[in-house]
């Protein structure tokens, strides 16, 4: 073993701090960096200390991620005496619950984490949302580091500070805004991500192109197979562009009073489908968003907003990589009835004075916010779509 294990030598710092891309989320006193590249998990202690100083770290992860990636992170922290403890959660959307939140808060306190310490969320969007929520309320808020391990978390959920849990009333209806202090997106960890999860995460990357960056969507159409084959250059580019897009929006509208709502393209429909499917493996979050995006494009077409082949382009692209595009693509059982879906959509956080806020499109890369579509028109649209 010739590896240099001595802490914080200049040589070790240099090796640690070599991300392929760094993106700044410009939020004044709460600004932070998103580092993207290989090898970041094993260098985490140095990367964190260089930016956030010393302090104990409590790791939150799930059992799937722990199997492949916990050991190097713990080793990195233990080498410098900063490992406060590790909590391994059950994988899956059901973990984003009040019960898990309560348990996790108590575990973080048992680890002895104090105000100056850090929570590290090592996992996908579920771990990030739950650990971020716990970090935001334990001791009235302690700092946290996102170490996203799914493509979805690397391109989207680890950036922007939304935390939360699900309730029977719907998705992410209880939560906080709590920005991470650092995001370490290690592209190596995607090696163990199952293909279905990779495809689901890809949807959130494509979403950025569909909202505001037609050139990026065009690039994805050409490079999807390289991204899904985990070609390092393609994956890094896909993550960096999506994160830059999100960072720009979050810097303009941190708490979603305006522009940030655009990031919910496909989510009003998608969240309703996810809730209806019981937040289960039957329909992954990203898959629900794929169908939701296609519904938003089709509704835009029905309303006469899109005049070209945008709808077909989106559907063709998603279908070509094995993503669902229609409600009927959801496996296992009868289609949802339109009234149930509309009722769930009525719980959406974007509802204002009983009116749905829909994110619609004039074309690829041209999303906008619309509040005047009559609920009956949406009901009629969903009823027709549910049968297709
Ligand atoms: N906060 C936000 O801004 C935001 C944005 C988008 C989505 N989300 C939330 O994110 C969640 C979805 O995220 P997700 O798709 O990452 O789900 P997830 O966290 O459930 O991860 C998906 C699956 O992949 C496994 N996994 C993750 N990384 C792995 C790896 N490297 N190797 C092997 N297995 C791995 C997990 O254990 C899990 O089984 C939803 O709850 C959604 O609401 C939040």
Test site for ligand 1: of 95, 157, 194, 249, most ligand atoms within 8 A of the Cβ: 157
Q: Is the CB of 280 under 6 A from ligand 1?
A: no
Average pLDDT of the segment spanning 14-30: 84
CB atoms within 10 A of CB 26: 13
Query: For 109-118, how does the pLDDT look when each residue is reduced to its tens digit (9 = 90+)?
Result: 999 999 899 9
The pLDDT assigned to 373 comes to 87
Distance (angstroms) between ligand 1 centre and the Cα of 376 equals 34
Q: Is the CB of 187 under 6 A from ligand 1?
A: no
Distance (angstroms) between ligand 1 centre and the Cα of 76 equals 23
Are 122 and 70 contacting, i.e. CB atoms less than 8 angstroms apart?
yes
The pLDDT assigned to 308 comes to 74
How sure is the predictor about 145, in pLDDT bands with cuts at 50, 70 and 90?
very high
Distance (angstroms) between ligand 1 centre and the Cα of 305 equals 33
Are 38 and 232 contacting, i.e. CB atoms less than 8 angstroms apart?
yes
Average pLDDT of the segment spanning 255-271: 93
Q: Is the CB of 149 under 6 A from ligand 1?
A: yes
The pLDDT assigned to 2 comes to 33
Q: Which two tokens stand for residue 268?
A: 């009003």
Give 294: exposed, middle or buried? Use CB within 10 Å, 0-12, 13-18, 19+. Answer: buried
Q: Is the CB of 157 under 6 A from ligand 1?
A: yes
Report the nearest-CA residue for atom 7 of ligand 1: 157
The residue count of the chain comes to: 388
Given a cut of 80, is residue 5 above it in pLDDT? no
Strands 165-167 and 83-89, bridge-based pairing:
unpaired
Distance (angstroms) between ligand 1 centre and the Cα of 159 equals 13
Are 84 and 108 contacting, i.e. CB atoms less than 8 angstroms apart?
no
Residue with the larger pLDDT of the pair 268 and 388 = 268
How sure is the predictor about 50, in pLDDT bands with cuts at 50, 70 and 90?
very high
Pick the closest to residue 242 from 209, 196, 200 (CA basis): 209
Average pLDDT of the segment spanning 8-26: 69
Report the nearest-CA residue for atom 16 of ligand 1: 124
Test site for ligand 1: of 245, 285, 323, most ligand atoms within 8 A of the Cβ: 285
Q: Is the CB of 197 under 6 A from ligand 1?
A: yes
Report the nearest-CA residue for atom 9 of ligand 1: 125
| Contact partners, residue 130, CB within 8 Å, separation at least 6 | 60, 89, 95, 96, 100, 101, 104, 121, 163, 165
The pLDDT assigned to 148 comes to 98
Report the nearest-CA residue for atom 4 of ligand 1: 157
Rounded to two decimals, the pTM is 0.93
Query: For 202-230, how does the pLDDT look when each residue is reduced to its tens digit (9 = 90+)?
Result: 999 999 999 999 999 999 999 999 999 99
The pLDDT assigned to 7 comes to 38
Report the nearest-CA residue for atom 18 of ligand 1: 124
Distance (angstroms) between ligand 1 centre and the Cα of 358 equals 25
The pLDDT assigned to 378 comes to 87
CA atoms of 68 and 318, how far apart (whole Å): 29
Distance (angstroms) between ligand 1 centre and the Cα of 124 equals 3
Distance (angstroms) between ligand 1 centre and the Cα of 32 equals 21
The pLDDT assigned to 340 comes to 85
How sure is the predictor about 339, in pLDDT bands with cuts at 50, 70 and 90?
confident
Positions marked active-site = 140, 162, 204, 246, 256, 260, 264, 267, 271, 285
Given a cut of 50, is residue 11 above it in pLDDT? no
Query: For 179-205, how does the pLDDT look when each residue is reduced to its tens digit (9 = 90+)?
Result: 999 999 999 999 999 999 999 999 999
The pLDDT assigned to 353 comes to 62
Average pLDDT of the segment spanning 358-362: 96
């Amino acid at each position: 073993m010739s590896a240099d294990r001595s802490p914080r030598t200049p040589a070790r710092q240099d090796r640690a701090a070599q991300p392929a891309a760094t993106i700044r989320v410009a939020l004044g006193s709460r600004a932070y960096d998103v580092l993207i590249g290989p090898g970041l998990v094993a260098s985490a202690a140095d990367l964190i200390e260089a930016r956030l100083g010393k302090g104990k770290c409590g790791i939150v992860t799930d059992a799937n991620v722990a199997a492949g990636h916990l050991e190097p992170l713990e080793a990195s922290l233990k080498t410098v005496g900063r490992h406060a403890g590790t909590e391994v959660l059950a994988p899956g959307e059901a973990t984003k619950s009040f019960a898990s939140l309560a348990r996790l808060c108590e575990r973080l306190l048992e680890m002895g984490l104090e105000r100056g310490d850090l929570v590290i969320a090592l996992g996908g969007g579920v771990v990030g949302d739950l650990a971020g929520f716990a970090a935001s309320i334990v001791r009235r808020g302690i700092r946290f580091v996102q170490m996203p391990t799914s493509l979805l978390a690397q391109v989207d959920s680890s950036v922007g500070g939304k935390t939360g849990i699900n309730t029977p009333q719907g998705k992410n209806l209880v939560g906080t805004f709590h920005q991470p202090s650092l995001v370490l997106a290690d592209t190596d960890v995607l090696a163990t991500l199952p293909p279905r999860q990779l495809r689901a995460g890809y949807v959130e990357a494509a979403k950025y192109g569909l909202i505001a960056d037609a050139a990026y969507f065009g690039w994805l159409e050409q490079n999807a197979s390289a991204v899904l084959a985990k070609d390092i250059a393609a994956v890094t580019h896909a993550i960096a562009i999506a994160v830059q897009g999100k960072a720009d929006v979050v810097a303009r509208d941190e708490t979603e009073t305006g522009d940030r709502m655009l990031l919910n393209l496909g989510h009003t429909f998608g969240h309703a489908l996810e809730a209806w499917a019981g937040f289960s493996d039957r329909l992954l979050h990203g898959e629900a968003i794929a169908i939701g995006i296609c519904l938003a494009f089709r509704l835009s077409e029905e309303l006469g907003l899109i005049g070209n082949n945008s709808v077909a382009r989106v559907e063709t692209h998603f279908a070509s990589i094995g993503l669902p595009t229609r409600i009927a693509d959801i496996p296992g059982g009868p289609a949802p009835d339109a009234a149930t879906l509309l009722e769930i959509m009525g719980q959406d956080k974007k509802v204002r004075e009983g009116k749905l806020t829909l994110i619609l499109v004039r074309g690829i890369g041209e999303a906008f916010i619309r509040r005047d579509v009559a609920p009956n028109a949406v009901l009629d649209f969903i009823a027709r779509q549910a049968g297709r």
